[in-house]
Structure 1
Amino acid sequence: MPDDPSADLTVLIVSYNTRALTLKCLETLYANTRARFRTIVVDNASQDGSAEAIAARFPQVMLIASAKNLGFAAANNLAAARARSDWLLLLNPDTETYPGGVDALLAFSKANPQAGITGGRTYYPDGSLNPYSCSARLTLWSTACRASGLAAAFPRSPLFNPEAYGGWQRDSARRVDIVVGCFLMIRRSLWDQLGGFDLRYFMYGEDYDLCLRAGRLGYRPMLCPEAKIMHLVGASTTLRARRHILVAKSRVSLIHDHWHPALVPLGVALTWLWGALRTAAALSRAVLRRHPSSRESAAQWREIWRARRSWLQPY
């Protein structure tokens, strides 16, 4: 259906060299959503013809073709500034909506105004559950579990994998600390009150920071199990080492921004330990297995470890 300037929902999409994926995202969005909505796409200086293809296939979309890569946070802030609806939906370009998914999330958001921010369930292309549509906040315990490998060893344990709400299948409505920005709905008035994303977070962590700041205002983000999408995860960050570096830097930034100052050095030290143990494990596997994939992993972790001075500093 065509975009409606009087709609109460605006969908914000930020694309970066994801031409085919973004087109599929828009195709499923329009095919599977009955609510009236507008769409704003910010293309972050893609080199794959994304902006031209979007303009040709979806003329009803408000397209902002940036001359430079603004990053996820700044691009969403730019798009949100153009929205006039009561509700905003942040949607990644590497997602495909399922029938009624956006409608369910909009209805749920309106029925639970105390949430402020809402999200839904995400699935991998093979139909299996992707648990990373929401998260619990970083704590000293969760950071220690991640650093020591306990979270990876016991992924279904709520004790040892608390950030992922280990064991919960996202099949019930529930308060959560964090709604991940791949599929995040927020009332525009709250977005404006929070000032949108903190622009220090170029990529990763901006959604965590947004939700934690909303929590300080008394809102309690929630997950709606009936709202479902498919998410490829990380399609616009193809270099694995680069992604780990960005995630680690965002975690250190969140520790600095949201932890008690006395705990910050411990959190940073545990992040250092995470990098050290992962690098040592990758190098050991490369020596013992002598397999090309093990050598590739070792090379990636060497790169991550060499960049530790960068990711151990906050934004």
Structure 2
Amino acid sequence: MSVHETIHIRRSIESAANHVCLSVSVVTFNPNPILLQRTLDSLRYAVAYLRAQRGQNLSVSVLLVNNGSDCISDTWASVFKQDAIECKVIAGHGNIGYGRGHNLAIESLTSDYHLILNPDVDMAENALDQALKFFDKHPAVALLAPHVSGEDNVTQYLCRRYPTVLDLFVRGFLWKKAQTLFILRLARYELHDLIKVKSLSHELADQTIDTFISPQIVSGCYMMFRTNVLKKLGGFDSRYFLYFEDYDLSLRAGAIASIAYVPAVRIVHFGGGASKKGWRHIYLFVMSAYHFFNRFGWRWL
């Protein structure tokens, strides 16, 4: 074997070793078409940025799970294909719930990393790049949560401590004026003190991606996993139809690996608020909370 052949084989092996496979699942049920378009476009731009940083050693697949939506069609598969992103639409199963919808995608994954993404999230262009950089530096971390802000650019505190029944009632159902009576309690539940410090330190350092905390619970609107850990957990618990499936998955993930809040990964989230969506959502919220506390332990006050 010639020297050139040896070098070529060595480079091929190194390239294969450095190759990264990323998958993304989005579950939709009657989504806002404008927000969905914004979400999927931001995903495309983030993938393009990631490729610009990592070269061609990257493959990306998107699984669009249609629980009931006129917005999702094979047209999106063609759009993603133009950006060299594999896309599959999973449909025909009806509205089986948020967690079970994602599980349809998770069960067939062969990727290195998997992003669970809401259809109402606009991610920063460098969000995927910052996430993978963080994973590269922290092999013990298996689940990553981003810094989340609303459309008004105000921070949404979606990383949480273990909740009490009172925390959930105050946070979900009391009017804003009444919530001020519990402001310190809610701040503790939502990790205000830690998140403010970590987010500020990231902004001051400008490029610090190591600044993170280890929350017990993170939001299902954007959960970046090492796929092998996600599959080991079996994805979401299918007994939750909607709400608290992310609480459940966070606690199970934290029992076998580390979870990180990484302020360098930034998204805008347009959703939330079960009590504002009608009685059916309130019922689903209460039933899921009941199942969650039965499984992990009741804390009242």
Q: TM-score, normalised to structure 2's length?
A: 0.74
Residue 152 of structure 1 corresponds to which residue in structure 2? 179
Partner residue of 1:42? Answer: 65
Specify the SS of the correspondent of 1:13: strand
- Give the match for residue 206 of structure 1: 245
Q: Quick one: distance in 1 between partners of 2:97 and 2:279?
A: 18
How many residues are treated as equivalent by the alignment?
254
How far is the alpha carbon of 1:249 from its aligned partner?
2.0
User: Cα offset for 1:235?
Assistant: 9.4
The aligned counterpart of 1:79 is 105
| Partner residue in 1 for 2:271 | 233
Root-mean-square deviation (Å): 3.0
Q: d(CA) in 1 for partners of 2:270 and 2:217? A: 19
| Unaligned stretches of 5+ residues in structure 2 | 1-18, 52-57, 200-210
User: Relative CO higher for 1 or 2, CA cutoff 8 Å, sep ≥ 6?
Assistant: 2
For 1:68, what is the secondary structure of its paired residue? coil
Q: CA deviation at 1:86?
A: 1.1
Do structure 1's residue 16 and structure 2's residue 16 form an aligned pair?
no
Amino acid at match of 2:288: S
Q: What corresponds to 2:73 in structure 1?
A: 51
1:242 to 1:189, Cα distance in 2 relative to 1, 3 A? same
Mapped contact 2:67–2:96 kept (Cα < 8 A): yes
User: Does 2:243 align with 1:216?
Assistant: no
Q: Which runs of 5+ in 1 are unaligned?
A: 1-5, 271-315
- 1:176–1:220 contact (8 Å) kept in structure 2: no
Matches within 5 A, 1:146-185: 152-153=179-180, 157=184, 159-167=185-193, 168-169=195-196, 171=199, 172-185=211-224
Work out whether residues 152 and 161 of structure 1, in 8 Å CA contact, stay in contact via their aligned partners in 2: no
Amino acid in the other structure paired with 1:51: S
Cα deviation for residue 194 of structure 1 reads 1.0
Return closer, same or farther for 1:151/1:9 CA change in 2, 3 Å cut-off. farther
Deviation at 1:83, TM superposition (A): 2.0
* One-letter amino acid of the structure 1 residue matched with residue 27 of structure 2: V
Q: In structure 2, what is the equivalent of residue 64 of structure 1?
A: 90
Query: Do the aligned partners of residues 162 and 246 (structure 1) sit closer, same or farther apart at CA in structure 2, a change above 3 Å counting?
Result: farther
**Seq. identity, %:** 27
| Secondary structure of 1:179 counterpart | coil
CA separation of 1:24/1:140 partners in 2, compared to 1, >3 Å: closer, same or farther?
closer
- Matches of 1:151 and 1:257 in 2, distance apart? 30
Q: Is the 8 A contact 1:17 1:50 kept in 2?
A: no
Letter in 2 for 1:212: L
* Separation in structure 2 between the aligned mates of residue 220 and residue 50 of structure 1, nearest angstrom: 34
C-alpha distance after superposition, 1:150-182 (max 9, x if no partner): 99225652x454321134336151110012111
Deviation readout 1:115-159 (Å, 9 max, x if unpaired):
321110111112221222x211124774687699699225652x4
CA separation in 2, counterparts of 1:136 and 1:248? 19
- CA 1:70–1:137: 2 relative to 1, 3 Å: same
| Partner secondary structure for residue 82 of structure 1 | coil
Task: Using the TM superposition, give the Cα deviation of residue 195 of structure 1 relative to its aligned residue in structure 2, in angstroms.
Answer: 1.1
Q: Distance in 2 between matches of 1:39 and 1:146?
A: 33
